[in-house]
A and B are shown apart, each in its own frame.
Chain A
Amino acid sequence: MAIDSIAALLSGAAKAGLPLWEHILLEDLREGQGTREDSLRQMRRLWEAMKASGDNYRPEERSHSGLAGGDSAKVQAAMAGGALYGGEFFQEVVAEALKVSECNACMKRIVAAPTAGSCGVLPAVLLPLLRRGEDEEEILRALYVAAGFGQVIATRASISGAEGGCQAEVGAASAMAAAALTQLRGGTPAMCAHACAMALSNLMGLVCDPVAGLVEVPCVHRNVVGAVNALSCADMALAGVECRIPADEGIDAMAQVGASMDDSLRETGAGGLAATPTGKAIAGRLAEEG
């Protein structure tokens, strides 16, 4: 792709005199045959699917392994009882991240963003905003910003847990969401870059250690961390807080960290939580069941 750095993304948009989202859209068109309308139509289709990705949630449903399901319903019930920390918006974000991730584990239709394992992060922060009247055209623009930053992460580092650990999945999703949220509140492109950089650095080193190799434990709960981290970093960026390490250097560092991770911590289900006595016992039970 044409843009291989956040710095080039920002300077390209400034030079072209275009908003960040439009520059990202146009740069992507240079790579293929489609038109601007095709691209917008596709993004709208993805957004519609994202909106619907929690619709088929059923509180009593469990994944094939029995490990995932029901947690979003618990949080929603506790919210209704007024027992939780955080404002209503924050609580909704937590519940939404769980809901979409649990739907994924239960083989329902979701949007990989950037991966299926991290599919809960973007809807978790965007759907509560939509419910509060956020303009959908603005959300589409924010999704372009998210995809543009994600594209640079994918190019310079990775968005695959098998290559770079969970920092490359939930970490990347969180960085994308942080940039999108910053854009939605009218943050400058530089602020979006700071939000992205902070979100990524906060989750740097996060390993991919799925119990029994399944996209369930700890993936479902980590989507919550990705979402709330995105909110915090967007808030910091909007307040003028700057990441001390530039986004591109942070992404390169993340690539290095991913490369130096042991194989057991890169989606093999052999290290981290997967290698705990309980993690191994679960894997053993599932293997016996066939």
Chain B
Amino acid sequence: MRLFDVIGPIMTGPSSSHTAGAAKIGLVTRAMLGGEPVRAEILLHGSFAQTGRGHGTDRAIVAGLLGMHPDDPRIPESFSLAEKAGLAFSFTTGTLKNAHPNTASLTVENADGESLSVVASSLGGGRIQICRVDGIETGFSGGSNTLIVHNEDKPGCAAVVTALLARFGLNIATMQLCRNFPGGYAVMVIECDQFIPAELARELEQADGVARVTRLNLDV
């Protein structure tokens, strides 16, 4: 644990796990979707479901979807701001299998009709983990610039992606390969040290076997 995990983060209260982490889940989901979300269905699980209202978990997730960071003082007013921004959202509570107590499942859609489903947990201290992207199991923090490639599970896909990253001068910090079953649908999660440009994503989308590319760049 680094020094600024002990003092910090600067955040809108009252809870680093239930409020700051929740806002970050919304923010990371927004970044992965790309573009303004216009619709969001959110399910809260465990402690998020039980104490989420009192902790502002619901308002924090919506704030994140609107692009607010965990220290944004407008988090308490996010519901009315969502209305102005044209984001329609709904909340339900339920139980997710084998999930951390502070977990949310989000299905979001942008103005172009693209949709994305994310399951994410808040681990404490404002740190989060993205557990699922479009149903595929993952495990990344959203704390680094992250490239997410949805592809067919077949030989050569990882090589194409890493070659392209090398050509754009991007260094890989971590890389995970996840799939639903052999030869099925796969997701590559690549955390990079540098900003991931849109041109790289566009080129990747043209590659054989690649179904979809999403980018998460921090501080944009």
Q: Who on chain B is nearest to A154 by CB?
A: B1
Could you tell me the distance between the alpha carbons of A56 and B13 in the complex, rounded to whole angstroms?
Answer: 13
Most chain A CB within a 10 A radius of its CB, from B19, B54, B75? B54
Q: What's the tally of chain A residues with a CB closer than 8 Å to chain B? A: 54
Q: Known A64-B53, A115-B16, A116-B16; judge A150-B125 contact (CB<8 A).
A: no
Q: Are B8 and A112 within 8 A (Cβ)?
A: yes
Q: Are B6 and A147 within 8 A (Cβ)?
A: yes
Q: Are A112 and B54 within 8 A (Cβ)?
A: no
Q: Are A28 and B3 within 8 A (Cβ)?
A: yes
Q: Are B54 and A146 within 8 A (Cβ)?
A: no
| Chain A positions within 8 Å of B125 at CB level | 112, 114-115, 159-160
Binds B, one of A88-96, A200-208, A210-218: A210-218
Q: Are B13 and A107 within 8 A (Cβ)?
A: yes
B14 at the interface (CB under 8 A from A): yes
Contact of A42 among B4, B50, B55, B76 (CB under 8 A): B4
A179 at the interface (CB under 8 A from B): no
Shortest C-beta distance, B105 to chain A (Å), equals 20
| Chain A positions within 8 Å of B59 at CB level | 107
Q: Known A107-B75, A112-B126; judge A65-B13 contact (CB<8 A).
A: no
Contact of A162 among B3, B11, B14, B124 (CB under 8 A): B124
Taking A154-B6, A215-B55 as known contacts, 6 extra A-B pairs with beta carbons closer than 8 A to each other, sorted by chain A number, are A28-B2, A46-B4, A106-B14, A107-B56, A111-B9, A150-B6
Q: Are A213 and B51 within 8 A (Cβ)?
A: yes
Interface string of A124-148 (1 = CB under 8 A from B): 0000000000000000000110111
A32 at the interface (CB under 8 A from B): yes
Contact of B13 among A31, A104, A114, A160 (CB under 8 A): A104
| Chain A positions within 8 Å of B12 at CB level | 107-110
Interface string of A27-62 (1 = CB under 8 A from B): 010011000000100110110010000001000000
Could you tell me the distance between the alpha carbons of A11 and B115 in the complex, rounded to whole angstroms?
Answer: 55
Shortest C-beta distance, A54 to chain B (Å), equals 12
Q: Are A45 and B55 within 8 A (Cβ)?
A: no
Q: Are B11 and A215 within 8 A (Cβ)?
A: no
Could you tell me the distance between the alpha carbons of A45 and B13 in the complex, rounded to whole angstroms?
Answer: 18
Within 8 A of B (CB), among A144-168: 144, 146-148, 150-151, 154-155, 159-160, 162
| Chain B positions within 8 Å of A64 at CB level | 53-54, 56
Q: What's the tally of chain B residues with a CB closer than 8 Å to chain A? A: 34
Shortest C-beta distance, A131 to chain B (Å), equals 21
Shortest C-beta distance, A102 to chain B (Å), equals 10
| Chain B positions within 8 Å of A181 at CB level | none
Q: Are A290 and B53 within 8 A (Cβ)?
A: yes
| Chain A positions within 8 Å of B6 at CB level | 113-114, 147, 150-151, 154, 159, 176
Q: Who on chain A is nearest to B1 by CB?
A: A154
Q: Who on chain B is nearest to A29 by CB?
A: B3
Contact of B76 among A1, A65, A104, A107 (CB under 8 A): A107
Q: Are B3 and A214 within 8 A (Cβ)?
A: no
Could you tell me the distance between the alpha carbons of A213 and B9 in the complex, rounded to whole angstroms?
Answer: 22
| Chain B positions within 8 Å of A103 at CB level | 13
A258 at the interface (CB under 8 A from B): no
B contact residues vs A (CB 8 Å cutoff): 1-17, 19-20, 47, 50-51, 53-56, 59, 71, 73, 75-76, 124-126
Interface string of A176-199 (1 = CB under 8 A from B): 100000000000000000000000
Most chain A CB within a 10 A radius of its CB, from B8, B56, B125? B8
Could you tell me the distance between the alpha carbons of A282 and B59 in the complex, rounded to whole angstroms?
Answer: 22
| Chain A positions within 8 Å of B50 at CB level | 213
A10 at the interface (CB under 8 A from B): no
Q: Known A65-B54, A214-B51, A269-B51; judge A109-B10 contact (CB<8 A).
A: yes
| Chain A positions within 8 Å of B54 at CB level | 63-65, 212-214, 286
Shortest C-beta distance, B72 to chain A (Å), equals 8
Q: Are B14 and A155 within 8 A (Cβ)?
A: no
Could you tell me the distance between the alpha carbons of A216 and B13 in the complex, rounded to whole angstroms?
Answer: 11
Q: Pick 26 A–B contacts, CB within 8 A, sort by A.
A: A28-B3, A31-B2, A43-B4, A46-B8, A63-B14, A63-B54, A107-B12, A108-B13, A109-B13, A109-B71, A110-B10, A110-B13, A112-B8, A112-B11, A112-B125, A112-B126, A113-B8, A116-B13, A116-B19, A116-B20, A151-B1, A151-B3, A151-B6, A213-B50, A213-B54, A215-B15
